[in-house]
Amino acid sequence: MKTVGHLIGGKTVISTDRTLPLNNPATGCKEGEVGLASAKDMQDAIAVAAAAFPAWRDTPQSKRAQIMFRFKAELEKHADEICQLIGLEHGKIPHDAAGELTRGIENVEFACFTPELLKGEFSKNVGPGIDSWSEFQPLGVVAGITPFNFPVMVPLWMYPLAISCGNTFILKPSERDPSAAIFVAQLAHDAGLPDGVLNVVNGDKEAVDTLLTDERVQAISFVGSTPVAESIYATATSHGKRCQALGGAKNHAIIMPDADIDNAVQALMGAAFGSSGERCMAISVAVAVGDEAAESLIAGLKTEMASLKIGSMEDNSNDFGPLISGAHRDRVVSLISSAESDGASLVVDGRSPIVNDDDSGFFVGGTLIDHVTQDMASYQQEIFGPVLCVVRARNLDEAMGFVNDHEYGNGTCLFTRDGEAARYFSDNVKAGMVGINVPLPVPVSYHSFGGWKRSLFGDLAAYGPDGMRFYTRRKTITQRWPSASLRESASFSFPSN
C-alpha cells in the first residue's frame, strides 16, 4: 500500500506521525495513505524555498521560460499517467481528467510568455536628463492551497506563473487526492526546475496555519469553500501577506423564452452534471423565464438524463464518476431530500443509483428538482454534486434578481437569441464571469478567473494578467546622471519637470 510524502528541496520526505487514508471513491476502498506535515515540516519547506529564492530571482527570464516550455512537454508526454492518478483518487473519468489537464497546460503556456509581461514601462527625459521606468519584481516565497476537485489544474493556475515571475513556491494540495500534484511537481523538476523552487507539502490545518503566519511567506493563493476562504484571507492579511482567496459559488443559467431550448438542454447537461457537479463553475440553478420555457426545458432535460451513464474511471464511456467521499455523498443526498421536504418537485431522483453490484462507492446520480424557491437550503447552499435546481421567473429582471441577490457571484450565463437582452444582462448582472449561450464561462489562460461578492476575497483574480500582478511588486525607478559642467543650486519647492 502506497504512502504519499512531500516534495521538499527536490527530495521525497515521508511523514509517519500523522496520516490520512487515501480512498478510491469508486469503490470506497483504501488504496494508500498520505502523511500529514507537522509545523516543523512546513517550516523546513519554507526555509528551503527562502534559500532557493535569491538564485532563482536572478536567473534570466528567458531561462525560466525555457524550463516552462520543457515542463509543458513533460505534461503532454505523461498525460495518461496524470489522468490515471486523478481518476484513482478523485474518481474523474479519463476524458474529464484530460480536459482538466489541458486547461492546466494552457496556463503553463501563458507562463512561458512571462518575459513579455515583466518588461514594464520606460520614459526618457521625464525631466532634464532624467529617465524613469517601472519593473515588476518577485515577492519571494509564495504559497498555494488548492482543492480536491481539480488536483492538477488549480495548482497549475498558480505556480507556473509564480515561479516564472521569479518567486519560489510551496504547494499545499488537498490531502484527499495528493498523488497527481506530487507527480506533476516531479515533472517540473525533470524539466530543469532547480531544487527548492517548487515544494509540495501535504497537510491539514497545522500545515496551513504555518503558511499563514510565517513571516517568510509573502503571499497566499487559495481555492476552496467560502467559509475557509474568508478565514484564510483574514488571517493572511492580518499577518501582512497578500492573499487571493477564491470561495464558493451558486451559478445560475437563465433560459429566455426565445432561447434554443435543445441547445440549452445539451449545454446544461454537461454544465450541471460534468465532474459530478464538483466544479466551482458548475451550473446548479436553471432560471426559466416563463412556464412554457420551464416545461420545455424540464422535458428535454428529463429525456437526456435517462441516458446518463455513471461509474468508475475504468470505463471512459461513463459521463461522470463518484463524489470525493462518503461524507460528501451523504451531504448531497441530504440537500436533495431537504428540497423534497420543502415542497420542491423531484423530477429525476439520483439518490440511489445502481452502479456496482455491491453498492460500494460514493455515487450520486444526476438529479433534477423543479419549483425550487429562494428560501430553500437546496437553493441557498452550494451543493457541489450532480444536482440541477429549476427556478421559475416571469421576466428577465426577475431572473437576474435571483443572481444579483445571492451571496455568491462567481459565474452566470444567459441563453437567448436576443442581442439586446444579452447586452443588458452582461452589463447589469452581478457576477464575475458571464456567458452568453456559453454555460461554463471559464476564462482562457490569458484572461483572469475570479468572481464577485463572497466568491472572491482579495483585489486580484487568479492566473492571467491579474496573476502576474499578484505575484510581483511594481518598482518605479527615476534616474539622473548630473552633468559635470553644470551645477545647480538647491531647490526647496516640490520637484517638477
- Examine the domain organization and report whether 125 and 232 are in the same domain: yes
Q: Is 494 contained in some domain?
A: no
Instruction: Kindly state the cell numbers that stand for 497.
Output: 519637470
CATH (domain of 357): 3.40.309.10
- Examine the domain organization and report whether 8 and 50 are in the same domain: yes
Catalytic residue among 83, 280, 389, 413: 280
CB of 202 closer than 8 Å to CB of 6: yes
Q: Is 221 contained in some domain?
A: yes
Question: In 3-state terms, what secondary structure has residue 286?
Answer: strand
CB of 85 closer than 8 Å to CB of 100: no
Environment class of residue 43 by beta-carbon count within 10 Å: exposed (0-12), middle (13-18) or buried (19+)?
Answer: middle
- Examine the domain organization and report whether 182 and 85 are in the same domain: yes
- Give the list of residues 6+ apart from residue 477 with CB closer than 8 angstroms, or none: 132, 133, 134, 135
Beta partners for residue 310, in sequence order? 320
Question: Which structural domain, as residue segments, surrounds residue 189?
Answer: 2-247+455-477
- Examine the domain organization and report whether 216 and 116 are in the same domain: yes
Residue closest to 15 by CA, chosen among 32, 33, 37: 37
- Examine the domain organization and report whether 199 and 84 are in the same domain: yes
Report the alpha-carbon angle 303-306-307, nearest 5. Answer: 110
CB of 174 closer than 8 Å to CB of 203: no
Q: Is 449 contained in some domain?
A: no
- Examine the domain organization and report whether 77 and 33 are in the same domain: yes
DSSP state of 462: B
Q: Is 484 contained in some domain?
A: no
DSSP letters spanning 48-116: HHHHHHHHHHTS-HHHHHHHHHHHHHHHHHTHHHHHHHHHHHH---HHHHHHHHHHHHHHHHHHTTHHH
- Examine the domain organization and report whether 229 and 352 are in the same domain: no
Cβ atoms within 10 Å, residue 177 = 28
> Residue length, the chain?
497
- Examine the domain organization and report whether 215 and 283 are in the same domain: no
- Examine the domain organization and report whether 95 and 218 are in the same domain: yes
The number of domains in the chain is: 2
Instruction: Kindly state the cell numbers that stand for 283.
Output: 451550473
DSSP letters spanning 464-476: HHHHHHHTEEEEE
- Examine the domain organization and report whether 90 and 41 are in the same domain: yes
Q: List the chain pLDDT tens, one digit each, 497 residues.
A: 789 999 999 999 998 889 999 999 999 999 999 999 999 999 999 999 999 999 999 999 999 999 999 999 999 999 999 999 999 999 999 999 999 999 999 999 999 999 999 999 999 999 888 999 999 999 999 999 999 999 999 999 999 999 999 999 999 999 999 999 999 999 999 999 999 999 999 999 999 999 999 999 999 999 999 999 999 999 999 999 999 999 999 999 999 999 999 999 999 999 999 999 999 999 999 999 999 999 999 999 999 999 999 999 999 999 999 999 999 999 999 999 999 999 999 999 999 998 876 678 999 999 999 999 999 999 999 999 999 999 999 999 999 999 999 999 999 999 999 999 999 999 999 999 999 999 999 999 999 999 999 999 999 999 999 999 999 999 999 999 887 776 777 878 887 76
Report the alpha-carbon angle 385-390-391, nearest 5. Answer: 130
pLDDT at 389: 98
CA distance 87 to 90: 5
- Give the list of residues 6+ apart from residue 462 with CB closer than 8 angstroms, or none: 157, 158, 221, 223, 244, 246, 448, 449, 450
- Give the list of residues 6+ apart from residue 458 with CB closer than 8 angstroms, or none: 233, 242, 243, 244, 245
CA distance 310 to 317: 9
Q: Is 85 contained in some domain?
A: yes
CATH (domain of 17): 3.40.605.10
pLDDT at 15: 86
Q: In what order do the strands lie in the sheet with 198-200?
A: 11-13, 6-8, 198-200, 168-172, 141-145, 217-223, 242-246, 456-457
Instruction: Kindly state the cell numbers that stand for 75.
Output: 505534461
pTM to 2 decimal places: 0.95
Helix then strand then coil, % of the chain, to nearest 5? 40, 25, 35
CB of 203 closer than 8 Å to CB of 36: yes
- Examine the domain organization and report whether 238 and 257 are in the same domain: no
Question: In 3-state terms, what secondary structure has residue 339?
Answer: helix
Q: Is 54 contained in some domain?
A: yes
Q: Is 280 a catalytic residue?
A: yes
Question: In 3-state terms, what secondary structure has residue 247?
Answer: coil
pLDDT in tens, 22-38: 999 999 999 999 999 99
Q: Is 489 contained in some domain?
A: no
Q: Is 450 contained in some domain?
A: no
- Examine the domain organization and report whether 152 and 13 are in the same domain: yes
Question: In 3-state terms, what secondary structure has residue 184?
Answer: helix
CA distance 149 to 176: 10
